[in-house]
Chains A and B, each alone.
Chain A
Amino acid sequence: MATIAQPSHATHVGASAEQTGIWSWITTVDHKRIGTLYLWTALFFFLVGGLEAVMIRTQLMRPNMGFVSADTYNQLFTMHGTTMVFLAVMPLSAAFFNYLIPLQIGARDVAFPRLNAFSYWVYLFGGIFITLPILFQVAPDGGWFGYAPLTSNQFAPGPNIDFWVIGLQILGVSSLAAAFNFITTIINMRAPGMSLMRMPMFTWMSFVVQFLLILAFPPITVALFFLLMDRFFGTTFYAIAAGADPLLWQHLFWVFGHPEVYILILPAFGLVSEVLPTFSKKPLFGYNVMVYSGIMIGFLGFGVWAHHMFAVGMGPVADSIFSLMTMLIAVPTGVKIFNWIATMWAGEVRFTVPMKFAIALIGMFTIGGISGVMHSSPPADLQQTDTYFIVAHFHYVLFGGSIMGIFAGIYFYYPKMTGRFMNDGLGNLHFWLNFIGMNLTFFPMHFSGLYGMPRRIYQYDSGQGWDLFNMMSTYGTYLLVVATAVFVWNFIRSRSTGAIAGNDPWGAATLEWSIPSPPPEYNFAQIPEVTSRYPLWDLKDPKKTAGIDHSHADAMTITDAHAVPVHEETERHTAKELGIPMPFSTAKPLFTAFGMCTMFSGLLFLRNDMFAVAMTVTLTGAAMLIGGLISWFTAPLE
């Protein structure tokens, strides 16, 4: 970041891989450690969201169950959605952005290491802020989409929605800050020779996602700000009595909400695009088309939002346009599916655990994609909207797509992150339990939905043909609990007992596999000069890449005279021994993040007319934020 004042010539105390203890994690600015923090935190929230799902499914196991009250049920489904979208899947993707992007492009860190730490701490505090209320039965209860005016004071007078509005506003800051950081990193920190069209596919898909983030989050920020003003300061944005349009929120929310769907899935697409070529021993089929279809998905993603709103009566013209756009976006997605299949075609396929998850993504996402195309047609959608058919659809793309892809990524990159393999037997057990559990949970929902079961009801009467399907879904969920327990056990145990993995345990092709596992703090002792998309295969197995057009370096690529050809680095030194300057460890991002969250949370006290308390908390938070920023900007980075 900006070092405006003269930096002091302080002794160098950059975080080293050897440093341990809580304080080294609190003050870390290392992208790998921040990625690890994201991973653990997001997995924790994934378990929280899963627990909420288990309670939902238990309540729906049989007709007219009384496991939880209607009010609690509302909080559970709201927090299940909110947690899984904002606190589990997005940060799990962020864990991979953090860990992998610099390694894949041959960089030593992200562009703004301290801003990166700030993003993580804001996410953590925001996550706690929005999750804690459920322990006191005051969790948000307006659905993850929070439709205003249903979430206005008139219909939601309690503090529940306050937590949601403020919490999402906080989480938005985290996502935006991270996105500016990764855009800059990918544009500006690629190793010499790493032209855009030589970037690994995960980095490419991440690149698209960062643009979706910076363009999709402002509309929801504005929508949330309006709601916040309505709730706390009596404005009229969503006040129907004052002439407000009841669809304003829906439009602003879905302009964010649909690109958000691609924010959730594209990183998983990127991960499986790394896994499939590795275990097929073939370069990715149609690399260029994969890039273009990813960009196309991102672009069209902004033109389909109103397909979430066919039921509100927008009229035939709007319905037709959005229907057409929705059908169109299936094309680049289908292209990806076919390219993955063609990548495996005639390859030497090895059915490892990550490969199984990657193949599962192709199959399961396709099912979800096809049901998606079904309700891109407004007449069909009018039958299906607000039924369990929709729930089945988006769980096939989010669980069958995003979660499967992320699991593929975790099993694939675990050896890189820890230096050890995850246990193969347990991994296979996890895969099969997960695969069967997922289908047992969500496939019957297609039927309960088509038989007319509405979403978000907490009880239903017997004799409507829903009983069997609900029972199946609930048992499927319990199977997923067992599967997840196996995964957690494997994930934790393998850190100390897993088989040792070398630099390149899978025989993969990209730069992150040329350095030791886990990577040293500086990543690359020597910055490599990249001449192809598959540098390690060129090095070790030129036959595999013979005849592949590696694309030419683009005009933006300049050459650093000090770069060296790609090679395997096996020796481990400290940054100091190699004379590589590393950023200082600092707790300032954490302090600043805490100040910002305090500032936001002051608003809560306005609900009880505690104006003085609200002002005190907000101003204290603002002072911490500003103080933190000043001390951050005036301190040297490294």
Chain B
Amino acid sequence: MASHAHAATTGHADGHDAHEHHHYTTTGLDHRKIAIWAFIGSECMLFASLISTYLIYKGKSLVGPFPHTEYVNEAGKVFKPILDIPVTSASTFVLLMSSLAMVLALQAVQLKGTPLAAGAGWWQRAERSSQLWLGMTALLGATFLGFQAYEFTSFVHEGLTIKTNLFGSTFFTLTGFHGAHVTVGVLWLMMLLWIDRTRGLGPKDELIVDICALYWHFVDVVWIAIFTLIYLIQ
């Protein structure tokens, strides 16, 4: 951006193309890049508060179902440990792969316009397709959300709702907050995909893909913390 540092006093009183117009900035970075980092910092505190509450209430529920242990109610009904770790491991894998797709999407946008070497294989061609990777990221994100919808409904069928006990309240709220973040990310990716399809994203659009990628990776990292603390550690 710095190389485009714009004359502070020379002007363009008429309309102009925002993409060719860059304001002088102190760091040389775009404002949005700094803002997204500040936003992510703030989000860390949000999830830290949610996760802390979950951990404080861990094992404090008076009635089941419980996450890792069996529960027998007064009527003698048996509730199995409710967390399905194999299924969630699969959804975790899907979400992690979406981050890989996101990296490739950013790379594809950056590579747009650079000529392919002669005899380039299918992979080199695939690497150039930002639409493929943006779509792939969104699809993997949506798949993760599908897993979560399945998980939530099966828990409700097994007798755990958000009202049942402290575990239900904290679990659904924490994972629900994360799911809402994934949903926002999927919508964001679909918007980028739509822009890519209508006018094409190229190296000059690197930034808008980059800030989406930062958000997406952050949401992914939060899930790693949640998966470890809530599913894996008993």
Residues of A within 8 A of B (CB): 1-12, 111-112, 176, 179-181, 183-184, 187-190, 192, 194, 214-219, 221-223, 225-226, 229, 233-237, 242-245, 248, 252, 255, 525-527, 556-558, 560-563, 576, 578-581, 636-637
Verify B15–A562 contact, CB threshold 8 A. Answer: no
By a CB distance below 8 angstroms, the chain A residues around B162 are 229, 233-235
Q: Give the 3 A-B CB pairs with smallest separation, nearest first.
A: A579-B11, A9-B15, A218-B45
Residue of B nearest to A111 (CB): B31
Residue of B nearest to A3 (CB): B18
Tell me what chain A mostly uses at the interface: helix, strand, loop, or mixed: loop
Known contacts A179-B42, A189-B25, A562-B7; 9 further A-B pairs (Cβ under 8 A): A184-B34, A216-B45, A229-B169, A237-B169, A237-B173, A243-B61, A245-B60, A252-B49, A562-B9
Kindly state the separation between the CA atoms of A234 and B169 in the bound complex, as whole angstroms. 9
Verify A188–B56 contact, CB threshold 8 A. Answer: no
B6-43 interface with A by 8 A CB criterion: 7-19, 24-29, 31-32, 34-35, 38-39, 41-43
By a CB distance below 8 angstroms, the chain A residues around B53 are 222, 226, 237, 248, 252
Given contacts A190-B26, A245-B56, contact A2 B9 (CB under 8 A): no
> Within 8 Å of chain A (Cβ to Cβ): is B170?
yes
Tell me which of B13, B16, B19, B34 contacts A183 (CB under 8 A).
Answer: B34
Given contacts A189-B25, A561-B5, contact A176 B166 (CB under 8 A): no
Verify B31–A112 contact, CB threshold 8 A. Answer: yes
Kindly state the separation between the CA atoms of A637 and B32 in the bound complex, as whole angstroms. 14
> Within 8 Å of chain A (Cβ to Cβ): is B183?
no
Interchain pairs with CB closer than 8 A, number: 171
Given contacts A234-B163, A235-B163, A561-B5, contact A581 B28 (CB under 8 A): no
By a CB distance below 8 angstroms, the chain A residues around B56 are 245, 248
Verify B29–A188 contact, CB threshold 8 A. Answer: yes
By a CB distance below 8 angstroms, the chain A residues around B199 are 6
The minimal Cβ–Cβ distance linking A539 to chain B, given in whole angstroms, is 19
The minimal Cβ–Cβ distance linking A553 to chain B, given in whole angstroms, is 11
User: What are 18 pairs between A and B in contact, CB < 8 Å?
Assistant: A3-B19, A7-B18, A111-B31, A111-B34, A183-B35, A184-B31, A188-B27, A221-B49, A222-B53, A235-B168, A243-B60, A245-B56, A248-B57, A556-B26, A558-B2, A558-B26, A576-B13, A581-B13
Kindly state the separation between the CA atoms of A203 and B59 in the bound complex, as whole angstroms. 47
By a CB distance below 8 angstroms, the chain A residues around B169 are 226, 229, 235-237
> Within 8 Å of chain A (Cβ to Cβ): is B50?
yes
By a CB distance below 8 angstroms, the chain B residues around A215 are 41-42, 45
Verify B43–A183 contact, CB threshold 8 A. Answer: no
Q: How large is the interface on B (under 10, 10 to 19, 20 to 34, 35 or more residues)?
A: 35 or more
Kindly state the separation between the CA atoms of A578 and B12 in the bound complex, as whole angstroms. 10
Residue of B nearest to A188 (CB): B25
By a CB distance below 8 angstroms, the chain B residues around A4 are 191, 195, 208
Residue of A nearest to B62 (CB): A243
Verify A180–B35 contact, CB threshold 8 A. Answer: yes
> Within 8 Å of chain A (Cβ to Cβ): is B129?
no
Verify B42–A176 contact, CB threshold 8 A. Answer: yes
Verify A243–B166 contact, CB threshold 8 A. Answer: yes
Verify A560–B24 contact, CB threshold 8 A. Answer: yes
The minimal Cβ–Cβ distance linking B151 to chain A, given in whole angstroms, is 18
Tell me which of A176, A179, A221, A579 contacts B13 (CB under 8 A).
Answer: A579
> Within 8 Å of chain A (Cβ to Cβ): is B175?
no
By a CB distance below 8 angstroms, the chain A residues around B42 are 176, 179-180, 214-215, 217-218
> Within 8 Å of chain A (Cβ to Cβ): is B148?
no
By a CB distance below 8 angstroms, the chain B residues around A579 are 9-13
The minimal Cβ–Cβ distance linking A208 to chain B, given in whole angstroms, is 14
Kindly state the separation between the CA atoms of A560 and B34 in the bound complex, as whole angstroms. 20
> Within 8 Å of chain A (Cβ to Cβ): is B165?
yes
Verify B18–A218 contact, CB threshold 8 A. Answer: no
Q: Most A CB atoms within 10 A — which of B35, B48, B50?
A: B35
Q: Most A CB atoms within 10 A — which of B12, B29, B169?
A: B169
Kindly state the separation between the CA atoms of A333 and B55 in the bound complex, as whole angstroms. 35
The minimal Cβ–Cβ distance linking A575 to chain B, given in whole angstroms, is 8
The minimal Cβ–Cβ distance linking A368 to chain B, given in whole angstroms, is 28
Residue of B nearest to A637 (CB): B18
> Within 8 Å of chain A (Cβ to Cβ): is B116?
no
> Within 8 Å of chain A (Cβ to Cβ): is B87?
no
By a CB distance below 8 angstroms, the chain B residues around A11 are 15
Verify B166–A526 contact, CB threshold 8 A. Answer: no
Verify B28–A558 contact, CB threshold 8 A. Answer: yes
Kindly state the separation between the CA atoms of A525 and B168 in the bound complex, as whole angstroms. 59
Verify B31–A188 contact, CB threshold 8 A. Answer: yes
By a CB distance below 8 angstroms, the chain B residues around A218 are 42-43, 45-46, 48-49
Verify A111–B45 contact, CB threshold 8 A. Answer: no
The minimal Cβ–Cβ distance linking B210 to chain A, given in whole angstroms, is 12
Q: Most B CB atoms within 10 A — which of A183, A217, A525?
A: A183
Kindly state the separation between the CA atoms of A6 and B16 in the bound complex, as whole angstroms. 10
By a CB distance below 8 angstroms, the chain A residues around B191 are 4
By a CB distance below 8 angstroms, the chain A residues around B49 are 218-219, 221-223, 252, 255
Verify A222–B50 contact, CB threshold 8 A. Answer: yes
B202-215: contact bitstring with A at CB < 8 Å (1 yes, 0 no)? 00000010000000
Residue of B nearest to A255 (CB): B49
Kindly state the separation between the CA atoms of A558 and B2 in the bound complex, as whole angstroms. 9
The minimal Cβ–Cβ distance linking A562 to chain B, given in whole angstroms, is 5
Kindly state the separation between the CA atoms of A314 and B24 in the bound complex, as whole angstroms. 52
Kindly state the separation between the CA atoms of A626 and B223 in the bound complex, as whole angstroms. 26
Verify B27–A187 contact, CB threshold 8 A. Answer: yes
By a CB distance below 8 angstroms, the chain B residues around A248 are 53, 56-57
By a CB distance below 8 angstroms, the chain A residues around B9 are 525-527, 562, 578-580
Verify B10–A562 contact, CB threshold 8 A. Answer: yes
Residue of B nearest to A241 (CB): B62
Verify B166–A221 contact, CB threshold 8 A. Answer: no
Q: Most A CB atoms within 10 A — which of B45, B162, B199?
A: B45
Tell me which of A8, A244, A252, A578 contacts B166 (CB under 8 A).
Answer: A244
Verify B26–A7 contact, CB threshold 8 A. Answer: no
Q: Most A CB atoms within 10 A — which of B38, B41, B60?
A: B38
By a CB distance below 8 angstroms, the chain A residues around B17 are 6-7
Kindly state the separation between the CA atoms of A225 and B174 in the bound complex, as whole angstroms. 11
By a CB distance below 8 angstroms, the chain A residues around B57 are 243-245, 248
Verify A229–B26 contact, CB threshold 8 A. Answer: no
Tell me which of B15, B27, B34, B45 contacts A219 (CB under 8 A).
Answer: B45
Given contacts A214-B41, A235-B163, contact A581 B11 (CB under 8 A): yes
B142-173: contact bitstring with A at CB < 8 Å (1 yes, 0 no)? 00000000000000000000110110111001
The minimal Cβ–Cβ distance linking A532 to chain B, given in whole angstroms, is 17
Verify B5–A187 contact, CB threshold 8 A. Answer: no
Kindly state the separation between the CA atoms of A218 and B12 in the bound complex, as whole angstroms. 41
Verify B26–A226 contact, CB threshold 8 A. Answer: no
By a CB distance below 8 angstroms, the chain A residues around B10 are 562, 579
Verify B26–A112 contact, CB threshold 8 A. Answer: no
B53-76: contact bitstring with A at CB < 8 Å (1 yes, 0 no)? 100110011100000000000000
